């Protein structure tokens, strides 16, 4: 499960299309920035929490290192921050989806189409 989450979030970042930013306002840029910060920080906090807690785990059959000293208080803090960001992530993703649907059905512009990968969107003259 952890492996899938890490790979999918980095995959989204890697395949992000640049035309998505063209003509978008400050709110869109801010929400996208927060999403990408969350996508980067969540796996890092999770891995750091496992490292500090001396939890043995593997990534693609490669055993990952653990800390030589266990710090349960730091692990608990990292885990709480990780869970808070993960739960906040659901809200931000929902806000992002609601804004895309608002643009598609109410404003009737091509914002939703520009968010889809591998689509050519022609700008109106």
pLDDT in tens, 56-83: 888 888 888 888 888 889 999 999 999 9
Q: Is the pTM of this model over 0.85?
A: no
pLDDT at 57: 85
Q: What confidence category does residue 13 fall into, taking pLDDT thresholds of 50, 70 and 90?
A: low
pLDDT score at 18: 45
Q: What pLDDT does residue 45 have? A: 92
Where does the pLDDT of residue 20 fall: very low under 50, low under 70, confident under 90, or very high at 90 and above?
very low
Confidence of residue 84 (pLDDT cuts 50, 70, 90): very high
Q: What is the distance, to the nearest Å, from the Cα of residue 66 to the centroid of all Cα atoms in its chain? A: 25
Contact 32, 16 (CB under 8 A): no
pLDDT at 109 over 70: yes
SS3 helix, strand, coil % of the chain, rounded to 5?
Answer: 65, 5, 30
């Amino acid at each position: 499960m952890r492996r899938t989450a890490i790979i999918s979030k980095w995959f989204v970042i890697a395949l992000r299309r640049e035309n998505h930013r063209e003509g978008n306002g400050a709110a869109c840029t801010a929400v996208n920035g927060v999403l990408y910060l969350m996508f980067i920080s969540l796996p890092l906090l999770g891995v750091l929490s496992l490292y500090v807690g001396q939890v043995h785990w593997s990534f693609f059959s490669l055993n990952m290192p653990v800390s030589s000293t266990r710090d349960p208080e730091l692990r608990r803090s990292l885990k709480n921050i990780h869970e808070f960001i993960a739960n906040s992530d659901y809200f931000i993703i929902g806000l992002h989806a609601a804004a895309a649907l608002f643009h598609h059905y109410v404003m009737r512009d091509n914002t939703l189409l520009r968010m889809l990968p591998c689509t050519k969107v022609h700008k109106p003259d």
